[in-house]
Chains A and B, each alone.
Chain A
Amino acid sequence: ELKVEQNPLFLSMQEGKNYTIYCNYSTTSDRLYWYRQDPGKSLESLFVLLSNGAVKQEGRLMASLDTKARLSTLHITAAVHDLSATYFCAVDKGDGGSQGNLIFGKGTKLSVKP
């Protein structure tokens, strides 16, 4: 059974600091997604990582994927308050029979304080 584990689950940061969120998954998958969710809102797609070594950056966020280690990271550079949200990674179950069944981690609740 595919499992996705994120850590930390809670993260309190000061503005201007850097930090990394980790996402480990238990079986082979070539597609990894990062989403952002604000309280009471829907999920916003941040990154789709499709191959080993993929790295994508958008503003202060950078995501990478190591399929051999089954690890993705979401790196936050010089955090600002607007980044406060819950961040989810998700892995495509992709067993050939049903691509699209995403398995989500529990989320990392990020709070950026002045």
Chain B
Amino acid sequence: NAGVMQNPRHLVRRRGQEARLRCSPMKGHSHVYWYRQLPEEGLKFMVYLQKENIIDESGMPKERFSAEFPKEGPSILRIQQVVRGDSAAYFCASSLKETQYFGPGTRLLVL
């Protein structure tokens, strides 16, 4: 059973561009979570999705950030008009029950 997959693993964007981060959950998992990690910090919750539904987006910035988990295909975290402060590692996790299993992360660098 493949683990949680994320791509790309590294992403470089210039200020003002868009970043799209993809996450494929573990097989059979219908819950997906996105977290952001700044250097030397813990992870900060962003959003929790189930297929076609956003369950909790209390950690999402109000502007420029959006997430989806369509019926078919991976979950996508989209950041529009990126700024330098968006540079971070973005981790996706999926779960079936209690335990969340994390993907390898996407390291976003905004120049």
Contact = CB atoms under 8 A, between A and B. Distances in A.
Nearest to B104: A42
Given A31-B98, A45-B99, A98 B58 contact: yes
Interface in A97-112: 97-98, 100-107
A104 B56 contact: no
A93 B100 CA distance: 13
B67 to A, nearest CB: 14
Interface in B81-105: 91, 95, 98-105
B42 A101 contact: no
B12 interface: no
A101 B58 contact: yes
Interface string A20-37: 000000000001010100
Interface residues of A, number: 25
Contacts of A42: 91, 102-105
Given A31-B98, A42-B105, A48-B99, A100 B56 contact: yes
A22 B41 CA distance: 17
Contact of B45 (A43, A48, A101): A101
A102 B102 contact: no
A101 B43 contact: no
Interface of B: 31, 33, 35, 41-45, 48, 55-56, 58-59, 91, 95, 98-105
Given A100-B33, A100-B95, A106-B41, 19 more contacts: A31-B98, A33-B100, A42-B104, A42-B105, A44-B102, A45-B100, A48-B99, A50-B98, A88-B43, A98-B56, A100-B48, A101-B33, A101-B45, A101-B59, A102-B33, A102-B35, A102-B100, A104-B43, A104-B44
Which 8 residue pairs spanning A and B have beta carbons closest together?
A: A104-B42, A98-B56, A43-B102, A104-B43, A42-B102, A42-B104, A106-B42, A101-B45
